[in-house]
């Protein structure tokens, strides 16, 4: 789609504007606040029914219908109309949208289907690049950039799917971790019952049958909590507390062994080694990736079903082939495998050690409760909480991401004087509790084992279920990400290649080896760039602000080209030149002209230099350039039409439309004398907002003109240059006559502009005013080359007033 005509009525800061780009590039020049961005907003509104700068963060309370129309008009008076050429339709079509019905695009029904893909693309906002948004493509964090690009690519559904799969995986992982921790704890408690380090069903069964034999029971062949006390007689406790002194002694001896100095040294050594291993993996991206692949592959082996099918996609494999394939992958990841195996082994050892402590500790705490030893109970509970906190941090690996405090570890594992506390508990128990019989101890062993074995069986089943659910979810998520990244990275590579090409075009020999990375990164998009062959970094790490700006433009253009080709050919660059230096701005002009010949650019800028460069490079034709200035709430921006202002005014006069003629004369005069004051460096009464009335400009221009003409006459006289002096006297006579007429006629402009007061003016009344201003304009420019007279200074000293061709050349320096 290209714009052939554009008409804006009572929209934002514009009362009425009609331009005819004719499908070609178009430029609007003007200072900040002159209304340039209102044109951008108008095109944006026409295509989307929204104004992007009025939505998003920081726009709460801004309403389209309230703040979209011109301040003096209602929504039904505000409209944007265009004649456009779209692909697939031979004849130009007219489209229109009004602010009272922003969601309704007015057009003929026969072309609505053709317009739909254009409007859909426009809704993503890819047709407009504004000054405030340019660095979003460059310096945004990965997640923010990812959301922006996903919106442009219309792949937000892909991200939603990823997010849902990730949430499911995380929920199942949390559940699985909890089940795993619970199983480890109850397993350690079970092992602690019979005095073994690791779970061994045969040893537990042997321990069960030994105690059953003491009680006269037959041996069991299968280990089951339901069968432990089958066909044996219960035993009565020897004390009211129900405390078994033999079991208490066993628990205290077990705990004393674990808190021994030798064991504490071994634990400290394990923790330090774990920390070093994990830090080594996290600091090496390749090793970290291999570690993640290894985890996934090992999980895949565990989930292979008996038929040999892939557990994710159900692809059939010959029995044993898939397992062999995955084992080969594990062999290829040997470096990561060794570190991961060591981490798992050390972590398991550490967790088991803590669980053994907590198992014995829990039993001793029960004993303090029976013995009513509240102080000792509080000490042991505090120790138990510290061990649980350490266990939790070890299980989620956060404990090893910071520097280990060895002293703190030692205190956690073996608090000060804890051995004395344990000895005291046992001494009191001996005094209060009789020695149990071997039958009672056997019965109590089976009672404790029955409870713990039952808990173990429940926990084991829960763990197995959580394991399958979690790891299926992880495999599903990773497979989805691999597929997504494969597709997106191909797309990002195409965009990256075009971005690099454009950036090299701008920076030439300085960046001949420039390269970049644009890749998927989880939910985000990572963007890094080369810095003179010294490695890739985020753009704002090494490059200047000007280089970042040009990167933003190049990345935006690469995305725009990739996404809009064949549908939207219009690209709006809204005052995007900020800190790009002048030479590179010229290269941007060349790039737009040579690399985007099929596009129609709407460019707004406050930079006159860049505007001239755009014309000289052929990006913008002179007829497709307008200039805004002196915006007012009543009339909107003044539009630079002084090149043909007199023809337009005479047309109005011939129609006896005095208000229109007066408005054009006033606007044109304000524009003209703004430039005159700038050229002559004329003093104008300062206005903080930078907007000046015609009277302010005329006063400054006339005063400076008279002053410099007087200096020129004095200088010519001092040098004895009579010929020049006579010319200057003729100029002075003509200017005095014009200034005199101006004082008589200028009053008529303001009344003629405003409603009712112009009713008595006729063609004959206003024509002398126009003639006077026509002559006034001529005083300040060269009759030969048509350029404005400008003042040349050397420091604070005024030296000459001249035109570009030299026909006017007033020397201001006395002899």
What's the 3-state SS for 253-264? HHHHHHCCHHHH
Count other C-beta atoms under 10 Å from residue 69's C-beta: 22
d(CA 578, CA 607): 9
Q: Which helix (H) or strand (E) holds 746?
A: none
Non-local CB neighbours of 684 within 8 Å, separated by 6+ positions: 677, 692, 696, 697, 699, 700
- CA gap 322, 310 in Å, rounded: 7
What average pLDDT does range 708-722 have in this prediction? 94
Q: Is 608's pLDDT higher than 70? A: yes
Confidence of residue 755 (pLDDT cuts 50, 70, 90): very low
Q: Please tell me the distance from the alpha carbon of residue 212 to that of residue 230, in angstroms, as a whole number.
A: 9
368, 426 Cβ separation under 8 angstroms: no
Assess contact for 244 and 251: CB atoms under 8 A.
no
731 pLDDT band, cuts 50/70/90, is very high
Among candidates 686, 671, 665, which has minimal Cα distance to 628?
671
| N residues, the chain | 815
Tokens of residue 663, six digits: 């408005």
Joined together, the tokens standing for residue 474 give 């992880």
Closest CA to 669 of 640, 635, 703: 640
636 in Cβ contact with 35 (< 8 Å):
yes
Tell me how far the alpha carbon of residue 85 is from its chain's centroid. 34
**Which run of H or of E encompasses 5?**
strand 2-11
- Does residue 214 have a pLDDT over 50? yes
Burial class (CB in 10 A: 0-12, 13-18, 19+), 366: middle
How high is the pLDDT of residue 713? 95
- Which letter does DSSP use for residue 804 in this model? S
Q: In what order do the strands lie in the sheet with 536-537?
A: 516-521, 524-530, 536-537
C-beta separation of 675 from 759 below 8 A: no
254-263, 424-433, 440-449: least confidently modelled range = 254-263
| Rounded Cα distance, 137 and 115, in Å | 28
- Tokens representing residue 649 in the block: 């005014």
Cα–Cα distance, 134 to 146 (Å, whole number): 15
Instruction: Say which range, 291-305, 439-453, 599-613, has the weakest mean pLDDT.
Output: 291-305
Q: Partners of 2 in the beta sheet?
A: 85
Between 31 and 237, the more confident residue is 31
Question: Which of the four pLDDT bands, split at 50, 70 and 90, describes residue 399?
Answer: very low
> Using DSSP, how many helices (H) and how many strands (E) does the chain show?
26, 16
Distance CA 792, CA 305 (A): 90
Q: What is the DSSP string of 654-685?
A: HTT-HHHHHHHHHHHHHHHHHHHHHHHT----
pLDDT of 411 higher than 80:
no
Per the CB < 8 A criterion, the answer to whether 280 and 287 are in contact is: yes
User: What confidence score (pLDDT) does residue 793 get?
Assistant: 85
CATH H-level, domain 1-127+568-640: superfamily: P-loop containing nucleotide triphosphate hydrolases (3.40.50.300)
Q: Say yes or no to pLDDT of 705 above 90.
A: yes
* d(C-alpha 593, C-alpha 591), whole Å: 5
Helices assigned H by DSSP within 334-417: 334-370, 374-395, 406-413
| pLDDT value of position 574 | 84
Q: In the predicted model, what is the mean pLDDT of residues 164-189?
A: 87
The closest of 637, 805, 742 to 39, measured between CA atoms, is 637
Both tokens assigned to 458: 């429940």
| pLDDT at residue 644 greater than cutoff 70 | no
CA 280 to chain CA centroid, nearest Å? 30
Q: Which letter does DSSP use for residue 102 in this model? A: T
* Contact by Cβ (8 Å): 627, 639: yes
**Pair 675, 788: CB distance under 8 Å:** yes
Task: Give the pairing type, strands 625-632 and 26-29.
Answer: parallel
Rounded CA gap, 453 and 62, in Å?
66
Which element (helix H / strand E) includes 492?
Answer: helix 438-507
Secondary structure of residue 444 in the 3-state scheme: helix
pLDDT of 141 over the 60 cut: yes
Distance CA 379, CA 417 (A): 11
- The first and second tokens of residue 358, run together, are 């907590």
* pLDDT(90) > 90: no
DSSP alpha helix (H) spans, 155-309: 156-194, 201-214, 245-258, 261-282, 285-303
- Please give the structure tokens belonging to residue 409: 């570890």
Mean pLDDT of the chain: 81
Domain boundary assignment for the chain: 1-127+568-640, 243-433, 641-811
Looking at the DSSP bridge assignments, the partners of residue 15 are none
pLDDT for 758 equals: 46
Question: Quick check: 137 pLDDT over 60?
Answer: no
Predicted confidence at residue 582, as pLDDT, reads: 63
pLDDT tens for each residue of 354-364:
887 888 888 88
Which pLDDT belongs to residue 754?
47
What phi and psi values does residue 794 have, to the nearest 5 degrees?
-120, 100
The average pLDDT across 39-54 equals 87
Question: So what's the pLDDT on residue 643?
Answer: 43
Average pLDDT for residues 456-479, to the nearest whole number?
Answer: 89
Of the chain, the end-to-end C-alpha distance in Å amounts to 65
- The per-residue pLDDT for 749 is 61
Measuring CA to CA, which residue among 612, 263, 248 is closest to residue 409? 263
Give the C-alpha separation, 65 to 57, whole Å. Answer: 19
CA distances for 155 relative to 146, 202, 457, angstroms:
10, 56, 46
Average pLDDT, integer, range 366-383: 90
pLDDT confidence band for 711 (50 / 70 / 90): very high
Residue that the structure tokens 């039904």 belong to: 76
Q: Under a CB-based contact definition with an 8 Å cutoff, are residues 544 and 561 in contact?
A: no
Integer Cα distance of 371 and 369 in angstroms: 5
Q: What is the pLDDT of residue 59?
A: 66
How far apart are alpha carbons 608 and 627 in whole angstroms?
A: 10
| Model confidence pLDDT, tens digit, residues 526-558 | 778 888 878 888 877 787 777 777 887 888 888
> In this predicted structure, which of 46-60, 80-94, 207-221, 282-296 has the lowest mean pLDDT?
282-296
d(CA 504, CA 510): 8
């Amino acid at each position: 789609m290209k714009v052939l005509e554009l008409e804006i009525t009572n929209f934002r800061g514009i009362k009425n504007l009609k331009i005819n780009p004719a499908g070609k590039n178009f430029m609007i020049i003007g200072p900040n606040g002159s209304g340039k961005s209102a044109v951008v907003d108008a095109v944006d509104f026409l295509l989307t029914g929204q104004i992007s700068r009025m939505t998003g963060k920081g726009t709460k309370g801004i309403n389209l219908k309230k703040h979209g129309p011109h301040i003096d008009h209602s929504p039904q008076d505000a409209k944007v109309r265009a004649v456009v050429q779209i692909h697939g339709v031979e004849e130009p079509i007219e489209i229109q949208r009004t602010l009272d019905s922003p969601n309704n695009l007015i057009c003929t029904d026969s072309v609505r289907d053709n317009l739909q893909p254009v409007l859909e693309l426009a809704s993503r906002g890819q047709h407009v690049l504004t000054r405030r948004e340019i660095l979003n493509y460059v310096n945004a964090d990965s997640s923010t950039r990812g959301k922006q690009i996903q919106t442009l690519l219309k792949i937000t559904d892909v991200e939603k799917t990823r997010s849902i799969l990730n949430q499911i995986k995380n929920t199942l992982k949390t559940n699985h971790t909890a089940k795993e921790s619970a199983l480890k704890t109850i397993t350690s408690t079970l092992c602690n019952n019979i005095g073994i380090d690791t779970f061994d069903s045969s040893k537990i069964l042997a321990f069960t049958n030994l105690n059953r034999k003491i009680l006269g029971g037959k041996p069991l062949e299968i280990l089951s909590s339901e069968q432990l006390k089958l066909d044996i007689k219960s035993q009565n406790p020897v004390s009211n507390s129900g405390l078994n002194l033999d079991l208490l002694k066993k628990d205290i001896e077990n705990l004393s062994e674990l808190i021994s100095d030798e064991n504490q040294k071994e634990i400290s050594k394990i923790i330090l080694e774990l920390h070093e291993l994990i830090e080594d993996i996290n600091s090496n991206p390749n090793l970290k990736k291999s570690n993640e692949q290894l985890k996934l592959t090992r999980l895949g082996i565990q989930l292979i079903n008996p038929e040999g099918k892939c557990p994710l996609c159900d692809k059939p494999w010959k029995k044993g082939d898939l397992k062999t394939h995955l084992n080969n992958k594990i062999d290829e990841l040997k470096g990561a495998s060794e570190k991961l195996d060591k981490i798992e082994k050390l972590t398991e050892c550490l967790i088991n050690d803590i669980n053994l402590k907590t198992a014995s500790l829990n039993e001793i705490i029960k004993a303090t409760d029976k013995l009513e030893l509240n102080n000792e109970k509080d000490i042991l509970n505090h120790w138990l909480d510290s061990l649980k906190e350490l266990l939790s941090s070890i299980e989620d690996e956060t404990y090893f991401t910071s520097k280990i405090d060895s002293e703190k570890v030692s205190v956690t594992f073996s608090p000060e004087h804890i051995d004395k506390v344990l000895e005291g508990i046992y001494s009191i128990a001996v005094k209060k509790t009789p020695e149990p019989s071997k039958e009672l101890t056997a019965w109590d062993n089976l009672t404790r084992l029955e409870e713990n074995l039952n808990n173990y069986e429940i926990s084991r089943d829960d763990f197995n279920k959580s394991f399958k659910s979690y790891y299926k979810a992880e495999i599903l998520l990773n497979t989805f990400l691999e597929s997504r990244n494969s597709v997106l990275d191909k797309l990002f590579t195409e965009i990256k290649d075009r971005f690099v090409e454009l950036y090299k075009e701008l920076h030439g020999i300085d960046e001949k080896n420039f390269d970049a990375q644009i890749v998927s990164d989880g939910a985000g998009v990572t963007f890094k760039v080369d810095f003179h062959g010294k490695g890739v970094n985020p753009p704002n790490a090494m490059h200047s602000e000007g280089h970042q700006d040009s990167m933003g433009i190049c990345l935006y253009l690469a995305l725009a080209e990739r996404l809009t080709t064949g549908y939207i050919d219009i690209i709006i660059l809204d005052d995007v030149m900020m800190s790009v230096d002048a030479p590179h701005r010229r290269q941007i002009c060349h790039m737009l002209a040579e690399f985007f010949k099929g596009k129609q650019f709407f460019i707004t800028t406050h930079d006159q230099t860049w505007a001239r460069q755009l014309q000289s490079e052929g990006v913008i034709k002179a007829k497709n350039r307008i200039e805004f200035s002196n915006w007012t709430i009543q009339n909107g921006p003044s539009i630079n039409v002084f090149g043909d202002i007199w023809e337009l005014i005479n047309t109005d006069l011939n129609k006896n439309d005095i208000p229109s003629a007066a408005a054009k004369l006033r606007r044109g005069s304000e524009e003209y004398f703004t430039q005159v004051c700038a050229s002559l460096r004329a003093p104008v009464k300062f206005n903080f907002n930078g907007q000046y009335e015609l009277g302010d400009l005329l006063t400054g221009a006339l005063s400076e003109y008279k002053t410099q003409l007087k200096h020129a006459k004095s200088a010519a006289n001092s040098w004895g240059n009579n010929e020049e002096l006579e010319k200057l006297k003729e100029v002075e006579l003509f200017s005095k006559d014009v200034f005199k007429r101006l004082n008589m006629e200028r009053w008529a402009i303001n009344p003629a502009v405003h409603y009712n007061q112009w009713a008595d003016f006729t063609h004959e009344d206003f024509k002398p005013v126009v003639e006077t201003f026509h002559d006034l304009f001529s005083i300040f420019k060269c009759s030969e080359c048509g350029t404005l007279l400008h003042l040349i200074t050397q420091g604070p000293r005024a030296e000459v007033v001249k035109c570009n061709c030299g026909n006017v050349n007033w020397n201001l320096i006395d002899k």
